[in-house]
Structure 1
C-alpha cells in the first residue's frame, strides 16, 4: 500500500518521519513541512496544504492519503476554516481521485486543549462526517494525557519529544490497521 503523509517536517524527529516505521510493509511517501495548515503557510514559504497539494506532480498513485490536524490553524481567525478544509479536500480528490482519505484532528500535548484547537477539531470532525471521510481525533482519543507529559513532551518547546513523536505515530498506525481491515 502506498500512503502520502502530509504532516510535520521531514526532519528525523517528527511524526511524519516516524509513522513509516510504524506501518511495516506499507510503502509510505512523506510530503510535509512544519507549521503548514489549512489556512497557514508552512515554514518553507511554499504555502498552505492546498497550495502544496496543487504543486504536487504525483498523479493518481496513492491508495490512501492522510491529511493532518490543523493544529497550525488554531490561532488563525475562526472565519474560514470550513471553507479552507473543503477546498483542500477538493484539491486532494482532484489529484488523487481513487485514494481513500483519512483526516486527523489537531494534537494537544496535554488533556487541557485550548478552545481554538477544540474548534478546529470540531470543524474537521463535522466536515469529515458530512463527506464520509475517515476521521481520527487525537483530542477525543487523548493521545497525550497530562500525566505523560514528562515522558513524551518537551515542555520548553511545547512539542512532543522523540518518544512523543514515536507515541504520536503509533496511535494512528493502530487506527489505520483497523480502518483498512474493516473497510
Structure 2
C-alpha cells in the first residue's frame, strides 16, 4: 500500500504581515491590491516542496467577522480560523503557537507566514528533520529566526521568493551582486 503524501501546513499570521506591510513598508493602511495574493503563497508551498499544502489563516474576530475576506480565503483554498478573546489577549499568536505545538505530534511540514519572534521556540521544536520554513519580509523578520537556519529552517521573502505581490513594493533591500540589474535603477 502506498504511503499518503506529506502535507505542508501554511500558517498565516495575517495581522503581522498586514501591520508590517502598512506600518513599515507603505507607511499607511494597505489597499486591497497591495496586499499579498494569498493563493500564490499556497502555490509556492506546493511547488517548492512538491506536495499538497493546506492553508490555515488566523484572524482576530472579537467584534465581527469580515465575511467577504473569509469567503475569498475559502475560495482560494484556505481554512479561515476566526478567534476571539479577552481585551489585550493576542488570540492569533496563542492559536498559532498551539497549532505549531500540535504539529510536533505529526509528520507534516510547516511554513509560518509571519515576522513575529513570538513563534521562534515553537519553530525550533519542529526542526526535527521535517521541512520548516518562515515567510515574511526579510528586513523585518525577527533575527532569532536566522539563528535557526543552521538547524534546517528555510526562510522565504514574500515579495522576492514567493512572488506574492502583483506590483513591486517600495522596499530598500540589500541586493546580492549576482542579482543586481542596473536597469532597475535607470528609470
Q: Computing the radius of gyration over CA atoms, which structure comes out larger, 1 or 2?
A: 2
More strand by share: 2
Using the size of structure 2 for normalisation, the TM-score is 0.41
> Which structure's relative contact order is higher, taking Cα pairs within 8 Å and 6+ residues apart?
2
